[in-house]
Structure formats: C-alpha cells, structure tokens
Amino acid sequence: MKPFSQFFIFLVIVLATSYIDAFTRNDFPEDFLFGAATSAYQWEGAADEDGRTPSVWDTFSHSYDTGNGDVACDGYHQYKEDVKLMADMGLEAFRFSISWTRLIPNGRGPINPKGLLFYKNLIKELRSHGIEPHVTLYHYDLPQSLEDEYGGWINRKIIEDFTAFADVCFREFGDDVKLWTTINEATIFAIASYGEGLTPPGHCSPNKFINCSTGNSSTEPYLAAHNMLLAHASASKLYRLKYKSKQRGSIGLSIFAFGLSPYTNSKDDEIATQRAKDFLFGWMLKPLVFGDYPSEMKRTLGSRLPVFSEEESEQVKGSSDFVGIIHYTTFYVTNRASASNFPIMNQGFFKDMGVYMISTGNSSLFEWEATPWGLEGVLEHLKQSYNNPPIYILENGKPMKHDSMLQDTPRVEYIQGYIGAVLNAIKNGSDTRGYFVWSMIDVYELLSGYTTSFGMYYVNFSDPGRKRSPKLSASWYSGFLNGTIDVSSQDTIQLQRKFSGSSSF
Ligand code: NOJ
C-alpha cells in the first residue's frame, strides 16, 4: 500500500477513535454475549449432498446470475476448521441456522440421519470450544416442496409444518442449545420476499423493476407476516410446554430494524417517523408484546391486514422471550407521501407506510453509512415502547467489495462504533444481552451474491478449498474480546500498523 494511503487510514482511525468514549469488553456485563453469525444456505454449501433437497433459496439463486450457494464457504465440510478459527478469535457465541431441507428433506416427515449428524457435530464442536450456539430455525430457506404444495408462508398450513420442524430441532439439539430464534428478520423477510421480489421466494406484483412469476405486493407481505407470527407463537408454545422446564432455553423472533430519525424537527416529520416506527417495528412487536397490530396499520390497511382471533392474540402475546434485532443503517424520515430515494421501495409495504425515507449515506443499497446513534435510538425506542424487552443484536456489520483489502479499516470503525452504541444503550437501561457481527466469514450474500461481503475472514471463492484469511476486523474483534484492545486507546492504531493480512492470532 502507498505510504500516503497508509497515513490517511492512520489519520482516519485517530480521528474516529478520538470521538469514542473509552470502553473494553469488561465494561459489558459478564454474561453479555459477543458473537458472529452466518446462515445455512450462505455458509454450508454441499447443496445436494447427503440427502439435502432444494429450498426456495436454491431455486431463487439459480434463476439469477449472482451466483448461488451450491458450494458457498463449504462450511458443511470445513465446520471444524471454522470453529477453530472462532475459538482462536475468542468468539463467545456463534449464530447459524438449520437448513430445513437438510434435516427434513421433504419438508415434513422423515428425518435425514446425515443432516441430523451434521448439526449435532457442529453444536458439539462449538460447545467443546466453549462457544455458545445461537440457532435460527428459519433463514429464507423454505423447502421448495412446501412452496410448490401450498405456497409456503402465505398459507396457514405453514404453521403446522414449521412447528413440527421446530419440534425436531428442540428435541434433537435442545440439550445443547439455549438460544433459539424462530424466524430471521421476519419484517423485511415478509416485505422483500412477498412484496418486492428481492429475496426468496421472490414474489411481487407486476412492476417495472423486477419480474416476479407470482405475487400480490399489497396483500402477501401482510399475510406472510401474519402466518410468521402465528408459526413463531406456535413453536414457542410447544417449546414452553414440552422442553423449557428441562432445557431451560429462550426463544425469540427477530426483526429488521432501520434506525429512523425525523428529517427536520417539524411536527410533521416527527409524526411521519412515528408512523414508520409503527409500520417497521410495531407490525410485529405490538402483537408480540400487546397482542394486536398497531392501530395506524389497521386504519391504513383495512381488510388487507389479517385479524387475530382472541385465542391467537393471546398465544402471540408474550411468545418471545427476547427480540432479535438485525440492524445496519439509519434513514431520515419525512412526511412526503409514499416514496423513497430507492425506487424499489415505492410499492407495497413502503407505499402503504406513506412516508419518504432518505438514506443517511450514499444512496446505494450496499454503501451503508455507520450511524451508531441510529441503533441507540432503536434500543431506546424498544425500551420505552415495548416494556424494555431482552434484546440480542443478531446482525450488524459492514458490506465492502468482496475483493477489497484484508485491511478492512472501515469495517473496524463501523463495528467499534456500534459496539459503543450498544454499551451506551445498556448504560441507559436497555436490556440488550448480546451482539453478533454479520458475518463471521465472507458468505454467499443474500442481495449481492459474491460481489460484496461482510466477513471478518476473507474467503477465496475461486479456490476449490475456499481458503480463509483473517481480515483486520478479525484481529480487532479478537483483541477486543480477549481484552488486549481498549477501543479508544492507540491500540487499534497499533494493531492496524502491525497487521500483515496473513497472521492468525
Ligand atoms: C440480512 C440477512 O439475515 C442475511 O442473510 C444477509 O446476508 C445480511 N443481513 C446482509 O444483507
């Protein structure tokens, strides 16, 4: 690297760190969990090995030219090496998901012994290295057979099938898994998969941006979300009745949470921001905490918003022991009707929400501005409006071009800024209990395939062996976790200077 760019990065770190209050791992509660995450389709590969069958994500990725998860990081074969990397790094927890079609290839019915063995081995490996597993049951990968049979999440039949899948997972893995997330980022999953056609199974109404083979953007997101809440509640009820007293774990739902802040200090923008919060957070959190949808949504959507029966409302209310938060960036909100500077967000849910969202950063979907104050705002809002629920930040991280340098200084700055925000929130009374970097290693990305990545380990996807190399962020996180890095001191700068890009810890 040229001396000038080295000096520039050095200067950026000096400036960035001088704005952060000093903190270390020890400033967080001892039982707070610091981890990193991946998901099955994005990490495992081995897509048609040992009895696994296609999920809607296989089908979706094979219909676009952004690559696919057939091999991904080859985690299915290299899990032991990856757990070793995690342990060397000092990771306290690892969040991963279970591929439904690896475990139950037909979506319901017989268990695949090889799939079962893989997850048992992975969990055992994690435990033997003192790493806490955090398991997500559903991460965009519905069995294709269930999509074909009845349309997946838009049909109530999913509730029974999802609960039966969860039952197998609790029974088989529950002695060693204490943290369960039922559905990954359920809010944006419903929007992007059933309204925008952006993520699997890719449903949307006909529009000029994306060609979906099926869908109705004005009804399906609400229907899918309703069934997700019911499926989550049903799995949670089962866990509490059948497993909790013995296994002593917790079960939660995760939502995607943008930071939201009024564009101006006008009353109008304040009201618009509250409306955005009702739509983006309240849609799932109001039912989970209070048993029904926000009245603002009921008013706007009328008969397009499904209704909970009294019994369902009782079952959904209180069904989450914690709230999982997926957070990346912040938007300013203003009271201009139904649009955004992302054209893709101008139909379905975002149109219904009826506010204008302005990115705090570059207007590309992949250039997310680090706005730690936005996360602090989310945590404060949840504390005040939803009875201060226990929270896990299940994803936070920075996308960069996949082949950019191993010296990922912007990612280090991003992560340390957000960890600082979590600490501030805790000091202000938020019951946040864990923080997971997305992602542990470069994976097959949901929106961008192999072109951008978030990993703390670089993966060479052209190498048949999928060689891993630590980035600066891996060294930084490791130093932070083992207490050799104090965030606001000169330590980060020292680390950056010493980083050769090839070292282990
Ligand atoms: C959202 C999803 O949970 C994950 O699959 C995705 O790769 C990351 N966040 C980044 O977009």
Rounded average pLDDT over 116-131: 98
Rounded average pLDDT over 243-263: 97
Catalytic residues: 185, 395
Expressed in angstroms and rounded, the spacing between residue 446 Cα and the centre of ligand 1 is 6
Confidence of residue 453 (pLDDT cuts 50, 70, 90): very high
Confidence of residue 366 (pLDDT cuts 50, 70, 90): low
Rounded average pLDDT over 344-366: 77
402-449 confidence digits (pLDDT tens): 988 899 999 999 999 999 999 999 999 999 999 999 999 999 999 999
Does residue 447 line the site of ligand 1, with CB under 6 A?
yes
**Integer Cα distance of 114 and 120 in angstroms:** 10
- Residue 6 scores a pLDDT above 60: no
Helix (H) or strand (E) holding 59: helix 56-62
**Integer Cα distance of 118 and 132 in angstroms:** 17
Rounded average pLDDT over 288-295: 98
Q: What is the pLDDT of residue 369?
A: 80
Q: Which atom of ligand 1 is nearest to the CA of 446?
A: 7
Q: Which atom of ligand 1 is nearest to the CA of 438?
A: 8
Confidence of residue 212 (pLDDT cuts 50, 70, 90): very high
Confidence of residue 339 (pLDDT cuts 50, 70, 90): low
Confidence of residue 18 (pLDDT cuts 50, 70, 90): very low
- Pocket probe for ligand 1: among 73, 193, 437, 438, the residue whose CB has the most ligand atoms within 8 Å is 438
- Residue 504 scores a pLDDT above 50: no
Does residue 425 line the site of ligand 1, with CB under 6 A?
no
Rounded average pLDDT over 351-356: 91
- Pocket probe for ligand 1: among 73, 446, 459, the residue whose CB has the most ligand atoms within 8 Å is 446
Expressed in angstroms and rounded, the spacing between residue 123 Cα and the centre of ligand 1 is 22
- Residue 1 scores a pLDDT above 50: no
157-198 confidence digits (pLDDT tens): 999 999 999 999 999 999 999 999 999 999 999 999 999 999
CB 479 within 8 Å of CB 463: no
Expressed in angstroms and rounded, the spacing between residue 443 Cα and the centre of ligand 1 is 10
154-168, 219-233, 334-348, 413-427: least confident range: 334-348
DSSP secondary structure code for residue 377 in this structure: H
Which of 145, 168, 169 is closest to 157 using CA atoms? 145
Expressed in angstroms and rounded, the spacing between residue 421 Cα and the centre of ligand 1 is 21
- DSSP reduced 3-state for 124: helix
- Residue 342 scores a pLDDT above 70: no
Q: What is the pLDDT of residue 195?
A: 95
Does residue 495 line the site of ligand 1, with CB under 6 A?
no
CB 134 within 8 Å of CB 95: yes
Report the nearest-CA residue for atom 6 of ligand 1. Answer: 446
Tokens representing residue 345 in the block = 């967000």
**Integer Cα distance of 445 and 467 in angstroms:** 18
**Integer Cα distance of 294 and 274 in angstroms:** 11
Rounded average pLDDT over 191-216: 92
Rounded average pLDDT over 277-294: 98
Confidence of residue 491 (pLDDT cuts 50, 70, 90): confident
- Residue 262 scores a pLDDT above 50: yes
Expressed in angstroms and rounded, the spacing between residue 268 Cα and the centre of ligand 1 is 32
Q: Which atom of ligand 1 is nearest to the CA of 395?
A: 9
CB 38 within 8 Å of CB 12: no
- DSSP reduced 3-state for 180: strand
- Residue 361 scores a pLDDT above 90: no
Does residue 445 line the site of ligand 1, with CB under 6 A?
yes
14-23, 249-258, 267-276, 292-301: least confident range: 14-23
All structural domains of the chain: 28-502 (3.20.20.80)
Report the nearest-CA residue for atom 5 of ligand 1. Answer: 446
Rounded average pLDDT over 310-316: 98
- Pocket probe for ligand 1: among 140, 182, 395, the residue whose CB has the most ligand atoms within 8 Å is 395
Tokens 């999928």 — which residue? 466
- Residue 302 scores a pLDDT above 60: yes
**Integer Cα distance of 117 and 479 in angstroms:** 34
Q: What is the pLDDT of residue 292?
A: 98
- Residue 4 scores a pLDDT above 50: no
Confidence of residue 28 (pLDDT cuts 50, 70, 90): very high
DSSP H helices, 151-294, are: 157-173, 186-194, 220-238, 244-247, 267-277, 283-290
Q: 0.85 exceeded by the pTM?
A: yes
Q: What is the pLDDT of residue 501?
A: 64
Confidence of residue 503 (pLDDT cuts 50, 70, 90): very low
Expressed in angstroms and rounded, the spacing between residue 445 Cα and the centre of ligand 1 is 7
Q: What is the pLDDT of residue 2?
A: 47
**Exposed, middle or buried: residue 103 (CB in 10 Å: 0-12, 13-18, 19+)?**
buried
Confidence of residue 497 (pLDDT cuts 50, 70, 90): confident
Residue 263 CB neighbour total at 10 angstroms: 20
Does residue 254 line the site of ligand 1, with CB under 6 A?
no
Q: How many residues does the chain have?
A: 505
Does residue 40 line the site of ligand 1, with CB under 6 A?
no
Which of 278, 375, 272, 281 is closest to 333 using CA atoms? 272
Residue bearing the bigger pLDDT, 482 or 17: 482
Expressed in angstroms and rounded, the spacing between residue 245 Cα and the centre of ligand 1 is 33
Rounded average pLDDT over 366-389: 92
- Residue 10 scores a pLDDT above 60: no
Q: What is the pLDDT of residue 87?
A: 98
Does residue 184 line the site of ligand 1, with CB under 6 A?
yes
Average pLDDT over the chain reads 92
Confidence of residue 376 (pLDDT cuts 50, 70, 90): very high
